[in-house]
Amino acid sequence: MGKFVITKRSNGEFQFNLKASNGQTILTSEGYSAKSSCENGIESVKENAQDDSKFEKKTSSNGKYYFSLKATNGQIIGSSEMYESTAARDNGIESVQKNAPDASTDDQS
């Protein structure tokens, strides 16, 4: 089962990473000034991860593939790592969809 890990950045902002059961990070959030906003971001991932239309598949300038998960308002909730292939990126999306809904939260901030 996956888990969300909340950490504090060196600039004082909070962020979360969604980690798969193997410990690999599959989604990283933006920085939040308040922990409560970070926690709301986690809830938004849980709510939106099952909707395929909320995932935006992208290609970076260096030719690698990644995705972003968007909230209902169109704001990006989190982004993936860079992948070498579209198949690997699509597996990352499936992993978010599988792990996010029931993931626990580990607050390490």
Domains of the chain, each with CATH number or no CATH: 3-107 (2.30.29.80)
The confidence score (pLDDT) of residue 100 equals 96
| C-alpha closest to that of 69 among 95, 103, 105 | 95
Instruction: Assign 77 to helix, strand or coil.
Output: strand
| C-alpha closest to that of 4 among 93, 15, 62 | 15
The confidence score (pLDDT) of residue 92 equals 96
Q: Tokens in use for 90?
A: 């699509």
List phi, psi (to 5°) of 4: -90, 130
pTM of model > 0.85 = yes
Residues listed for the chain: 109
The confidence score (pLDDT) of residue 1 equals 84
The residue ranges of the chain whose pLDDT is under 70 are: none
Question: CA–CA distance from 33 to each of 37, 48, 91, 109 (Å)?
Answer: 7, 22, 31, 12
